[in-house]
Every structure is written in structure tokens, then in C-alpha cells.
Homo-oligomer: A and B are copies of this chain.
């Protein structure tokens, strides 16, 4: 069975009904020894023209010599079943080894270096230590403009791409502010109502209580295939889909996982993450929203300017037309936080043609910029065009078409959308003015309540910054499907006060 030492050997596949969350295969100890492998060594598995990397584990009896026990994710990605023969060879030195060395030694990477790294990330020829080292190097030694372009190109090249027959427009928020996921539910239908193609794909929430995909999923299917997206976009000019099934720049999901664990978010990597998915999706014209303010990803306008510069520079290198909006991110957007609550708020605004200023104005501004990008209207007039579409109710009609095309019920009313039956309201302990609503604490409370996994969980804000309240007025209501999680959320909200009310009287002296 053996071919050559350190070469490829063939093994019979046995399936292990386990999800390791990382590619893992189990070999008999004897086979591992013959291949010079010890537990945690990496191997390449080969089936026809596909190959992926995996870590190995060894066993004496669980798997017999000549067989390989393969977990769900490996079997799925490689498309192998029980009894198949699969090639397996050690990866003593991954292809990206020298390129990664260069970066860790403070040398610049070439396009080829970058491709080798990203390709090894995507096919799992390297593990999370190597991936973390690439990301951490960026904290201390930023990517150059050239390296960033190489990174975007490599991330696109190692995934699938989609093309449309007409120019494609899109909007994207760098995120981080709770309540923001619903903005797209208003802005996208406005843009599509003007006849522009806006096949929006978005991610699920990573660290916030809801991503646009989570919120849209309350109303319709979002796990669309590339063919479905193209077909729906042709009919309705818009999608509000989850990008996860499309294999667009798949390195990103792997990077995001590690970034989240290390709680790092290198800017260049963020720019690459956003632009690579848009390039892969065939987007030619893009509006990026950078929320700025306390508790947002970007705290100061000067920082936002620098980040915007990075985006604009790359967009011009990538021949993408780009506009950037800095928006106020110092408190949650609108009144609601969490998938179902946000879906309700967006739907209500579309139906009633009005809503929370921070939500509706933002959506109109973003949509207006897209319309300006198209040249349909001169710079500075997009907002009014968007407002006209919104106030005539055209965007609600368009939204219903999108919901229907994505398999939802277009006639659903906001109040029919179920929200968590367990709820708890926090009241103002004093008379005064709302001086601060903390993004991070609102996020923590909504996530503790179960969002985004529990779609009905979240926070409803009865007030916004600047409101005057009396003692005993409601400030916020927490919702959850689970009474235990509601308790958790309430205890977090009592420890970290998410809404600050300051009275006029600061102190009484005797």
C-alpha cells in the first residue's frame, strides 16, 4: 500500500460522527509511526482534485491499520464517504513556511508569498498558531499598501466568485454598534427601488447581538446559493442574503475566529476582509459606513479618516468605486437591539414611512450615496431622492418583493413577529436627562439574553441620549426566550448600567 517514504499513501475512510470544529483525522499508531507522524502533526488529505489539511490524532484500537477515521467537517469538505480510498501525506513543511518567516522577520511579502499563506490558511495546511502569528504580526508591523492589495487578491483567489450582468452596488457597515443590523433592511430596498442592482450579502453577528443576516432571517430565508442570488437579483434587483454559503473569500471566516479569541482586529485585515468579499461578489460600486463614537470600533474622527484613507486607497487599486460615510456611532442605532426586535423596527419604519431618526436618517444617507455613485443624481442630492422613494412607500413594496423572493411571508406585520416572552424592564431611578447609552453594555446584555442565537432575545430602548425622564419612567426592556438567560442578562444590566440618567442635583451638602 505504501508508495514512497514521506509520499502519499492511501487509506480507507471510516467516518467518525464527531465535530471537532477543526479538521482532525485519526490514524492507527503504526501507520502514523511509519509516516513519521506524531499526534498534532499536519497531513494533507487528497481525493481526486480536492485536497485539505488536517491535524492527526493516533490510536491503537479505535482505528485499524490502513484506515483513517475522518470527522464531519473533513468528510464534508472533501466529499468522501465510508469505504472510499483517500490519499494522505505528511506536511513536514507547509508551502507558506518561508513566506510566514519573512513576515515574522519584518520583511515585506510578495503577491506569491501572500498567496501561499492564504492558500495554506484556507486549505488548513497550517494550524491556528501560524494563522495567529500572521495576524499578530500585523499589530506590530502593519501591512504595506502593496501587501494589503496582495492580501485582498489572495483572499479572492482562494474562494468562489460571482458575476452579474449589470453593474452591482452594495453597502457595508464596519459594524460594532448595536442596533445597526436593521439599517440595510431599509437602505437596500430604497436603492433597488431606483432600479439599481444591489445583491447584498452579509455576515451573521460575530460580537454584536445581530448581524443583518440574523435580522433578515427573522423574515425570510437567507442561506441562498449563488444561483438563487443571481436569479432573485435579476427579478427584484436586490437580495438580503447570508454570505456564508457562497465560499466568498473563505480565509476571512478562519481569520475572524482567531481574531475574536485574541480580541484583536487589525485594520488592514478588516479592510481586506470587507473588500475581498465585495470583489468576490462582483461588486463594482460600494458605500462603506464607519460608525464613529464612544464604544464603536472607531472612537475618533481622526482615526476614521485614517481608516477611510486605507479603504479609498485600496478601492482605487482594485478599480472599485467607493464612497465612505462616517456616521454617529456613540449610542445604539434606533430603539431595538436583537434580530426579532430589529426586524420589527425596520418593518414598522418601512410601513409607516417614518421611525427613529438615527435609523431612518442613516438609511436614507447611505442609500442616497449609492444612488449618487450611479450618476443617476448629482452629488449632494441622493438623500432627497432616497427620501422621496421611502416616503412614497416604494421601498416597502420592494422589501415585500425581496421577502417573498427569499421565501418569507411578505404580508407579515411587525406585531406578528414573535419576541421573547420573558421580559424585564428597567426604570429610571431618578429624574433627569439620559446622558449616555453604552454600546458595549447594551451588547453584553442582549447577548446574555441570547441574541443572536435566540432570535427573540434583545433589548428595547424606551429612551435615547438627550431624552428627559422622570423617576420611574421605563429605560429599557430586556427580552429572552429563556427565563434563565433573562436572569443572566438582568444581572449584567444591574452590574453594568447600560443607560445613564443624570439628575440636575449632583450632591447635597449639610
Contacts and interface: CB of A to CB of B under 8 A. Distances in A.
Contact of A130 (B40, B60, B262): B262
A258 to B, nearest CB: 5
A1 B71 CA distance: 29
B22 A261 contact: no
A165 interface: no
Interface stretch (A51-59, A74-82, A233-241, A293-301): A51-59
A508 interface: no
Contacts of A6: 488
Interface in A467-509: 484-485, 487-488
A487 B5 CA distance: 10
A369 interface: no
A55 B104 contact: no
A130 B6 CA distance: 31
A132 interface: yes
Contacts of A38: 21
Nearest to A2: B484
Assembly stoichiometry (copies)? 2
Given A6-B488, A262-B129, A104 B136 contact: yes
Contact of A127 (B58, B128, B487): B128
A133 B136 contact: yes
A111 B107 CA distance: 33
A263 interface: yes
A141 B141 CA distance: 10
A17 interface: yes
Contacts of A19: 39, 57-59
Contacts of A133: 132-133, 135-136, 262, 264
A164 interface: no
Contacts of A26: 18
A39 B21 contact: yes
A105 B55 CA distance: 31
Nearest to A257: B40
A133 B139 CA distance: 10
Contacts of A104: 136, 139, 262, 264
Contacts of A257: 40
A40 B17 contact: no
Interface in A80-118: 97, 100-101, 104-106
Nearest to A18: B59
Interface residues of A, number: 53
A40 B20 contact: yes
A174 interface: no
A132 B141 contact: no
A24 interface: yes
A137 B21 CA distance: 26
B485 A5 contact: yes
A59 to B, nearest CB: 4
A139 B136 CA distance: 10
A58 B22 CA distance: 11
A100 B258 CA distance: 14
A110 to B, nearest CB: 19
A21 B127 contact: no
Nearest to A127: B128
Nearest to A22: B40
Interface in A60-74: 60-62, 71
A191 to B, nearest CB: 35
A59 B19 CA distance: 6
A265 to B, nearest CB: 11
3 pairs of A and B residues whose beta carbons are closest in the complex: A21-B39, A21-B40, A140-B140
Interface of A: 5-6, 16-22, 24, 26, 38-41, 55-62, 71, 97, 100-101, 104-106, 127-133, 135-137, 139-141, 257-258, 261-264, 484-485, 487-488
10 contacts: A5-B485, A18-B57, A21-B57, A22-B40, A40-B257, A97-B263, A101-B263, A104-B139, A129-B129, A132-B136
